[in-house]
Structure 1
Amino acid sequence: MNRSLLISALLATFVLTACDNKPTVINAPAGPAGPAGAKGATGNEGVQGSQGKAGAKGETGTSGESTTVIVTPPAEPTK
């Protein structure tokens, strides 16, 4: 089983590398570019969008009774 798998892999490698297609190169004709075309027409003015209305302002929240800050000590270095 191992030899047949190895032989199949080698055979596939050789078959795929044998199909080395050469890229097609197309040479563009040498010469100066032609004259520029006519200028296009100017577009129409866009329509101004509508402005949304502002919503009602919410009530201010209440402040908490106290603030607790927990500071953890640094971890001990491993030895």
Structure 2
Amino acid sequence: MNQTRFGYRGFVIIPMAAFDGGLYAAMTIICDDRGQQRASGVLGHFNSAEEASAFALTAGKNEVDHRLWHPAAA
């Protein structure tokens, strides 16, 4: 699976959409500058892969922002 990567505030966000029972499940992977990766669980289900990916990207950006404001949570 070839996923698009987005750089955001020093992190790399990989939004994903997986077909799941007639809908698309949104998930995201966030990579930091040390090479550590953290994957979300399923963030929600959507009618299209584009909707799921867009939601996953937004969720990933929100997670990065949260980590930058609350570094102990990372």
Shorter-normalised TM-score: what interval? under 0.3
More strand by share: 2
**TM-score, structure 1 length as denominator?**
0.25
**TM-score, structure 2 length as denominator?**
0.26
Which structure: larger Rg? 1
More helix by share: 2
Q: Which has the higher contact order (CA 8 A, sep 6+)?
A: 2
